[in-house]
Chains A and B, each alone.
Chain A
Amino acid sequence: MSVGAAAILAALALLAALAFGPDLKRRLGRRRRTTGRLHPRRQPAYDPGRERRAERKARDLLRSVVGEDAFAMYSDLGFIRVHGGAGPASGYGYLIYPHRPIVAYEAGSGELLNEYCVGFPDGSDPDAGTRLPDSDDVLAKWMALHGDEHGLIADSNMHFPGRQVDPGQVRRDLRRLREWEGRRG
Protein backbone atom coordinates (compact mmCIF):
# COMPACT_ATOMS: atom_id res chain seq x y z
CA MET A 1 0.00 0.00 0.00
CA SER A 2 1.36 3.36 -0.94
CA VAL A 3 1.87 6.16 1.50
CA GLY A 4 -0.90 8.11 -0.22
CA ALA A 5 -3.45 5.31 0.15
CA ALA A 6 -2.55 4.87 3.84
CA ALA A 7 -3.01 8.61 4.41
CA ILE A 8 -6.44 8.52 2.73
CA LEU A 9 -7.49 5.53 4.87
CA ALA A 10 -6.32 7.28 8.05
CA ALA A 11 -8.22 10.43 7.07
CA LEU A 12 -11.40 8.39 6.41
CA ALA A 13 -11.05 6.64 9.78
CA LEU A 14 -10.65 10.01 11.49
CA LEU A 15 -13.73 11.42 9.73
CA ALA A 16 -15.78 8.32 10.63
CA ALA A 17 -14.76 8.62 14.29
CA LEU A 18 -15.75 12.28 14.31
CA ALA A 19 -19.09 11.60 12.57
CA PHE A 20 -20.22 8.42 14.34
CA GLY A 21 -18.13 8.38 17.52
CA PRO A 22 -20.46 10.33 19.85
CA ASP A 23 -23.52 8.37 18.73
CA LEU A 24 -21.70 5.05 19.08
CA LYS A 25 -20.49 6.01 22.57
CA ARG A 26 -24.04 6.97 23.59
CA ARG A 27 -25.48 3.69 22.29
CA LEU A 28 -22.83 1.61 24.05
CA GLY A 29 -23.41 3.49 27.32
CA ARG A 30 -27.17 2.96 27.06
CA ARG A 31 -26.67 -0.73 26.35
CA ARG A 32 -24.39 -1.08 29.39
CA ARG A 33 -26.96 0.63 31.65
CA THR A 34 -29.82 -1.47 30.31
CA THR A 35 -27.82 -4.68 30.62
CA GLY A 36 -26.91 -3.80 34.20
CA ARG A 37 -30.52 -3.15 35.12
CA LEU A 38 -32.07 -6.20 33.54
CA HIS A 39 -29.48 -8.90 33.78
CA PRO A 40 -30.86 -11.57 36.12
CA ARG A 41 -27.48 -12.19 37.73
CA ARG A 42 -27.43 -8.57 38.90
CA GLN A 43 -30.84 -8.76 40.55
CA PRO A 44 -30.77 -9.52 44.28
CA ALA A 45 -31.97 -13.03 45.00
CA TYR A 46 -35.54 -13.01 46.31
CA ASP A 47 -35.62 -14.51 49.76
CA PRO A 48 -39.24 -15.01 50.87
CA GLY A 49 -38.20 -15.79 54.45
CA ARG A 50 -36.22 -12.58 54.76
CA GLU A 51 -39.03 -10.53 53.19
CA ARG A 52 -41.60 -12.08 55.54
CA ARG A 53 -39.45 -11.35 58.60
CA ALA A 54 -38.89 -7.78 57.41
CA GLU A 55 -42.62 -7.27 56.84
CA ARG A 56 -43.43 -8.63 60.30
CA LYS A 57 -41.02 -6.12 61.87
CA ALA A 58 -42.39 -3.36 59.67
CA ARG A 59 -45.95 -4.09 60.83
CA ASP A 60 -44.88 -3.90 64.47
CA LEU A 61 -43.17 -0.58 63.85
CA LEU A 62 -46.17 0.77 61.93
CA ARG A 63 -48.51 -0.22 64.75
CA SER A 64 -46.33 1.43 67.39
CA VAL A 65 -46.21 4.71 65.45
CA VAL A 66 -49.68 5.17 63.95
CA GLY A 67 -51.63 3.73 66.90
CA GLU A 68 -54.22 1.02 67.23
CA ASP A 69 -57.04 2.66 65.22
CA ALA A 70 -54.99 3.42 62.12
CA PHE A 71 -53.28 0.05 62.33
CA ALA A 72 -56.64 -1.71 62.54
CA MET A 73 -57.72 0.28 59.46
CA TYR A 74 -54.65 -0.96 57.60
CA SER A 75 -55.12 -4.56 58.75
CA ASP A 76 -58.82 -4.62 57.91
CA LEU A 77 -58.93 -2.51 54.75
CA GLY A 78 -55.40 -2.57 53.32
CA PHE A 79 -54.83 1.18 53.42
CA ILE A 80 -54.62 4.06 55.89
CA ARG A 81 -56.58 7.30 55.58
CA VAL A 82 -54.78 10.50 56.58
CA HIS A 83 -56.66 13.78 56.89
CA GLY A 84 -55.14 16.56 54.81
CA GLY A 85 -54.08 19.95 56.16
CA ALA A 86 -54.78 20.54 59.83
CA GLY A 87 -57.18 17.62 60.27
CA PRO A 88 -60.72 16.56 59.41
CA ALA A 89 -61.84 20.20 59.03
CA SER A 90 -59.61 20.60 55.97
CA GLY A 91 -62.24 18.78 53.90
CA TYR A 92 -59.82 16.49 52.08
CA GLY A 93 -57.81 13.42 52.82
CA TYR A 94 -55.41 10.87 51.45
CA LEU A 95 -55.52 7.11 51.11
CA ILE A 96 -52.14 5.47 51.60
CA TYR A 97 -51.63 2.11 49.91
CA PRO A 98 -48.41 0.08 50.07
CA HIS A 99 -46.26 0.67 47.00
CA ARG A 100 -49.02 2.44 45.12
CA PRO A 101 -49.65 6.15 44.62
CA ILE A 102 -51.23 8.19 47.40
CA VAL A 103 -54.77 9.10 46.39
CA ALA A 104 -56.23 12.45 47.45
CA TYR A 105 -60.00 12.83 47.73
CA GLU A 106 -62.57 15.39 48.77
CA ALA A 107 -64.04 14.28 52.08
CA GLY A 108 -67.59 15.58 51.63
CA SER A 109 -68.33 14.31 48.15
CA GLY A 110 -65.80 11.49 47.93
CA GLU A 111 -64.58 12.96 44.65
CA LEU A 112 -61.09 11.82 43.74
CA LEU A 113 -58.68 14.72 43.34
CA ASN A 114 -55.24 13.44 42.36
CA GLU A 115 -52.79 10.59 42.51
CA TYR A 116 -49.37 11.32 43.97
CA CYS A 117 -46.80 8.83 42.79
CA VAL A 118 -43.96 8.62 45.27
CA GLY A 119 -41.53 5.97 46.47
CA PHE A 120 -38.75 5.61 49.01
CA PRO A 121 -36.01 3.73 47.18
CA ASP A 122 -32.94 2.74 49.18
CA GLY A 123 -29.91 1.47 47.31
CA SER A 124 -27.63 1.18 50.32
CA ASP A 125 -27.73 -2.63 50.40
CA PRO A 126 -27.76 -4.11 46.88
CA ASP A 127 -28.30 -7.62 48.26
CA ALA A 128 -31.59 -6.56 49.84
CA GLY A 129 -32.96 -4.66 46.83
CA THR A 130 -34.28 -1.12 46.91
CA ARG A 131 -37.89 -1.67 47.98
CA LEU A 132 -39.03 -1.18 51.56
CA PRO A 133 -41.34 -3.76 53.11
CA ASP A 134 -45.01 -2.89 52.44
CA SER A 135 -45.73 -1.62 55.95
CA ASP A 136 -42.54 0.47 55.99
CA ASP A 137 -43.62 2.08 52.71
CA VAL A 138 -46.98 2.93 54.28
CA LEU A 139 -45.28 4.29 57.40
CA ALA A 140 -42.85 6.41 55.37
CA LYS A 141 -45.79 7.99 53.52
CA TRP A 142 -47.71 8.44 56.76
CA MET A 143 -44.80 10.18 58.51
CA ALA A 144 -43.95 12.34 55.53
CA LEU A 145 -47.60 13.40 55.10
CA HIS A 146 -47.92 14.25 58.78
CA GLY A 147 -44.51 15.89 59.06
CA ASP A 148 -44.26 17.75 55.77
CA GLU A 149 -47.36 17.32 53.63
CA HIS A 150 -46.46 20.01 51.11
CA GLY A 151 -42.87 18.79 50.83
CA LEU A 152 -43.98 15.23 50.08
CA ILE A 153 -46.54 16.37 47.54
CA ALA A 154 -43.90 18.54 45.88
CA ASP A 155 -41.52 15.56 45.65
CA SER A 156 -44.14 13.30 44.09
CA ASN A 157 -45.37 13.06 40.53
CA MET A 158 -48.94 14.25 40.38
CA HIS A 159 -51.44 12.64 38.03
CA PHE A 160 -55.15 12.76 37.50
CA PRO A 161 -57.09 9.98 39.26
CA GLY A 162 -57.05 6.68 37.42
CA ARG A 163 -53.51 6.76 36.14
CA GLN A 164 -52.35 3.83 38.30
CA VAL A 165 -55.07 3.22 40.85
CA ASP A 166 -58.49 2.15 39.61
CA PRO A 167 -60.95 4.93 40.58
CA GLY A 168 -63.72 2.36 41.02
CA GLN A 169 -61.56 0.54 43.56
CA VAL A 170 -60.84 3.80 45.42
CA ARG A 171 -64.57 4.64 45.57
CA ARG A 172 -65.25 1.16 46.91
CA ASP A 173 -62.46 1.67 49.46
CA LEU A 174 -63.98 4.98 50.60
CA ARG A 175 -67.33 3.23 51.02
CA ARG A 176 -65.66 0.39 52.96
CA LEU A 177 -63.93 3.02 55.11
CA ARG A 178 -67.23 4.71 55.97
CA GLU A 179 -68.80 1.36 56.85
CA TRP A 180 -65.74 0.35 58.87
CA GLU A 181 -65.81 3.60 60.83
CA GLY A 182 -69.56 3.23 61.34
CA ARG A 183 -69.09 -0.24 62.82
CA ARG A 184 -66.39 1.04 65.20
CA GLY A 185 -68.58 3.96 66.29
Chain B
Amino acid sequence: MKPGHGDVLLAEGDVEVAEDEERLVEEFRRQLDEGMWAAVPTAETGGRREARMVRDFSEIPRDAERVIFFPRAAGG
Protein backbone atom coordinates (compact mmCIF):
# COMPACT_ATOMS: atom_id res chain seq x y z
CA MET B 1 0.00 0.00 0.00
CA LYS B 2 1.54 3.30 -1.09
CA PRO B 3 0.49 6.94 -0.99
CA GLY B 4 -0.73 8.09 -4.39
CA HIS B 5 -0.79 4.55 -5.78
CA GLY B 6 -2.92 2.21 -3.67
CA ASP B 7 -1.63 -1.34 -3.78
CA VAL B 8 1.33 -2.18 -5.97
CA LEU B 9 2.34 -5.72 -6.93
CA LEU B 10 5.90 -6.27 -5.69
CA ALA B 11 6.50 -9.92 -6.51
CA GLU B 12 4.57 -13.05 -7.23
CA GLY B 13 5.44 -16.70 -7.52
CA ASP B 14 4.89 -20.22 -6.28
CA VAL B 15 6.59 -21.04 -2.98
CA GLU B 16 6.89 -24.64 -4.11
CA VAL B 17 9.29 -23.51 -6.84
CA ALA B 18 12.71 -22.88 -5.28
CA GLU B 19 13.60 -20.02 -7.60
CA ASP B 20 10.29 -18.26 -6.93
CA GLU B 21 10.56 -18.78 -3.20
CA GLU B 22 14.03 -17.27 -3.13
CA ARG B 23 12.74 -14.19 -4.94
CA LEU B 24 9.75 -13.89 -2.60
CA VAL B 25 11.96 -14.23 0.48
CA GLU B 26 14.28 -11.55 -0.89
CA GLU B 27 11.40 -9.12 -1.50
CA PHE B 28 9.87 -9.89 1.88
CA ARG B 29 13.13 -9.06 3.64
CA ARG B 30 13.63 -5.92 1.56
CA GLN B 31 10.21 -4.61 2.53
CA LEU B 32 10.77 -5.28 6.22
CA ASP B 33 14.24 -3.73 6.04
CA GLU B 34 12.60 -0.62 4.61
CA GLY B 35 10.45 -0.45 7.71
CA MET B 36 7.21 -1.88 6.37
CA TRP B 37 4.86 -4.15 8.27
CA ALA B 38 3.56 -7.34 6.71
CA ALA B 39 0.16 -8.94 7.17
CA VAL B 40 -1.47 -12.06 5.79
CA PRO B 41 -5.25 -11.81 5.35
CA THR B 42 -7.09 -14.97 6.27
CA ALA B 43 -10.66 -16.23 6.17
CA GLU B 44 -11.68 -18.33 9.15
CA THR B 45 -14.35 -21.00 9.02
CA GLY B 46 -17.73 -19.30 8.79
CA GLY B 47 -16.29 -16.62 6.55
CA ARG B 48 -14.96 -14.44 9.35
CA ARG B 49 -12.07 -12.34 8.07
CA GLU B 50 -8.87 -11.97 10.05
CA ALA B 51 -5.29 -10.85 9.50
CA ARG B 52 -2.06 -12.11 10.91
CA MET B 53 1.03 -9.94 11.27
CA VAL B 54 4.21 -11.70 10.15
CA ARG B 55 7.79 -10.77 10.94
CA ASP B 56 9.57 -13.64 9.24
CA PHE B 57 8.96 -15.39 5.94
CA SER B 58 8.64 -18.72 7.76
CA GLU B 59 5.55 -17.37 9.59
CA ILE B 60 3.62 -17.05 6.34
CA PRO B 61 1.27 -20.01 5.85
CA ARG B 62 2.39 -21.99 2.80
CA ASP B 63 -1.06 -21.67 1.28
CA ALA B 64 -1.31 -17.90 1.78
CA GLU B 65 -2.50 -16.14 -1.33
CA ARG B 66 -0.84 -12.84 -0.57
CA VAL B 67 1.11 -10.78 1.89
CA ILE B 68 0.25 -7.12 2.22
CA PHE B 69 2.96 -4.65 3.18
CA PHE B 70 2.03 -1.34 4.71
CA PRO B 71 3.87 1.47 6.47
CA ARG B 72 4.66 1.03 10.14
CA ALA B 73 2.27 2.67 12.58
CA ALA B 74 3.27 5.90 14.24
CA GLY B 75 1.43 7.72 17.00
CA GLY B 76 -0.29 10.73 15.47
> A residues touching B (Cβ–Cβ < 8 Å)?
44, 47, 50-51, 53-58, 61, 64-67, 70, 101, 117-122, 124-125, 127-133, 136, 139-140, 142-144, 146-148, 151-152, 155-157
Contact between A140 and B53 (Cβ–Cβ < 8 Å)?
Answer: no
Main secondary structure of the interface of A (DSSP, over half): helix
Which bracket fits the contact residues of B? 20 to 34
Contact between B68 and A147 (Cβ–Cβ < 8 Å)?
Answer: no
> B residues touching A (Cβ–Cβ < 8 Å)?
1-7, 34, 37, 39, 41, 43, 47, 49-53, 68, 70-76
Main secondary structure of the interface of B (DSSP, over half): strand
Q: What is the bound-complex CA distance between A154 and B9, given in angstroms? A: 30
Identify which of A65, A66, A128 gathers the most chain B CB atoms within 10 Å of its CB: A65
Which of B1, B3, B34, B52 is close to A147, meaning CB atoms less than 8 Å apart?
B52
Q: What is the bound-complex CA distance between A131 and B6, given in angstroms? A: 11
